[in-house]
A and B are shown apart, each in its own frame.
Chain A
Amino acid sequence: MQRMKQTTLNVYAWFERRLQLEGPVKDAALHQVPRQTASWWYVFGSAAFTLLFLQIFTGILLAMVYVPSAGEAWRSLNVLNHQIPLGWFLRGLHGWGSNFMVAIVLIHMAQVFLFGAYKFPRELTWIVGVFLLLMTLGMAFTGQVLRFDQDAYWGLGIGASIMSRVPWIGGGLVHLLLGGPIIAGATLSRFFALHVFVIPGTLLLFVFVHVWMVLKLGVNDWPMPGRVVRRETYMEEYHHLAHTDGIPFVPGAFWKDLIFSGAILAAVAVCAVVFGPFGPSGQPDPSIIQTVPKPDFFFLWIYTILSYLPPQMETPFLLIVPLLAIAILLALPLIAAEGEKSWYRRPVAVLLVSTLAVSWGVLTRLGTTTPWSPHMSAWSGDPLPVNRIHDATPLARQGAVVFQVKQCRNCHSVGGSGGERGPALDTVATRLTIDQLRFKVVTGGGNMPAYGKNLSPSEIEALVRFLETLHPANEPPAYDASRRAVEATQAAESAGEASRLAPHPGSTP
Chain B
Amino acid sequence: MRPLAQVLLACLAALTAGCEHAPGYPGSPIVRPHEVADFDTLYDENCAACHGAKGENGPAIDLANPEYQALVDDATLRKWISGGMPGAEMPAFAQSAGGMLTDAQVSALITGMRTRWSRPSGFSGPTPPPYAQTQTGDAPAGEETYQARCSACHAPSQQQITSPDYLALVSDQALRSMIIAGRPDIGQPDWSHFGPGGKAATPLTAQEIDNIVAYLASLRNPTQATNYAPQQPDATTPAER
Residues of A within 8 A of B (CB): 78, 81-82, 85-86, 88-89, 92, 271-277, 280-283, 285, 288, 290, 377-384, 386, 389-390, 392-395, 397-398, 400-405, 409, 452-459, 461-462
Say yes or no: A383-B26 contact (C-beta < 8 A), given A389-B52, A394-B160, A458-B168. Answer: no
Pairs A–B under 8 Å by Cβ, sample size 27? A85-B19, A273-B23, A274-B22, A274-B24, A276-B22, A276-B25, A277-B26, A283-B32, A290-B100, A378-B49, A381-B44, A381-B45, A381-B48, A383-B53, A386-B52, A390-B186, A390-B187, A392-B59, A395-B165, A398-B166, A398-B169, A404-B59, A453-B227, A453-B230, A456-B225, A458-B168, A458-B169
Report the bound CA distance from A272 to B23 in whole Å. Answer: 9
B-side contacts of A378, CB under 8 Å: 49
Which of B's residues lie within 8 Å of A, judged by CB? 16, 19, 22-26, 28-30, 32-33, 44-50, 52-53, 57-60, 89-91, 100, 158-161, 163-166, 168-170, 186-187, 224-228, 230
Given A88-B26, A377-B45, A394-B161, the answer on whether A458 and B224 have CB atoms closer than 8 Å is yes
Q: Contact: A380 with B26, CB < 8 Å?
A: no
State how many angstroms separate the Cβ of B52 from the closest Cβ of chain A: 6
Q: Could you say which of B16, B25, B159, B164 has the most chain A C-beta atoms within 10 Å of its C-beta?
A: B25
Taking a contact as CB atoms under 8 Å apart, the answer to whether B52 and A393 are in contact is no
Given B48, B90, B227, which contacts A456 in the complex, CB threshold below 8 Å? B227
* Cβ A400 vs Cβ B59 within 8 A: yes
CA gap between A395 and B170 in the complex, in Å: 10
Decide: B165 and A458 in contact? CB cutoff 8 A.
Answer: yes
In the complex, what distance in Å separates the CA atom of A393 from the CA atom of B159? Answer: 5
Contact A81 B32 (CB under 8 A): no
> Of the candidates A86, A288, A398, A457, which one forms a contact with B19 in the assembled complex, judged by CB atoms under 8 Å apart?
A86
Q: What residues of chain B lie closer than 8 Å to A290, measured between beta carbons?
A: 33, 100
Q: How far is the CB of B227 from chain A (nearest CB, A)?
A: 5
Bound CA–CA A383/B50 (angstroms) = 7
Q: How far is the CB of A344 from chain B (nearest CB, A)?
A: 43
The answer on a CB contact under 8 Å between A285 and B32 is yes
A453 to B29, CA, bound (A): 42
Contact B49 A409 (CB under 8 A): yes
Cβ A274 vs Cβ B58 within 8 A? no
Q: How far is the CA of A275 from the CA of B224 in the complex (A)?
A: 55
> Given the complex, which residues of A lie within 8 Å of B165, measured CB to CB?
395, 457-458, 461-462
Query: Contacts A379-B49, A389-B57, A453-B228 hold; do A78 and B159 have CB atoms under 8 A apart?
Result: no
How far is B52's CA from A382's CA once the two chains are assembled, in angstroms? 9
Cα distance A379–B91 when bound, in Å? Answer: 12
A383-B52, A394-B159 are known contacts; what are 18 more A-B pairs with Cβ within 8 Å?
Answer: A88-B26, A89-B19, A273-B24, A280-B29, A280-B30, A282-B30, A379-B49, A384-B59, A389-B52, A389-B186, A392-B59, A395-B165, A395-B166, A398-B169, A405-B89, A456-B168, A458-B164, A458-B169
Q: Which residues of B contact A458 (CB under 8 A)?
A: 164-166, 168-169, 224-225
Inter-chain contact A398/B30, CB cutoff 8 Å: no
Q: Which residues of A contact B30 (CB under 8 A)?
A: 280-283
Across the interface, which residues of A come within 8 angstroms of B226, CB to CB? 456
Asked if A88 and B186 make an inter-chain contact with CB atoms under 8 angstroms apart, the answer reads: no
Q: Which residues of B contact A400 (CB under 8 A)?
A: 59
Alpha-carbon separation in the docked complex, A78 to B27 (Å): 10
A66: min CB distance to chain B, Å? 15
- CB of A397 within 8 A of CB of B25, answer no
- Chain B residue numbers with a CB within 8 Å of A379 are 49
Please give, as numbers and ranges, the residues of chain A lying within 8 Å of B29 by CB-CB distance.
Answer: 78, 81-82, 280
Q: Would you give the shortest CB distance from B71 to chain A, in whole angstroms?
A: 20
Chain B residue at minimal CB-CB distance from A92: B24
Residues of B contacting A405 with CB < 8 Å? 50, 89-91
Give the complex CA separation of A382 and B165 in angstroms.
Answer: 25
Closest A residue by C-beta to B45: A381
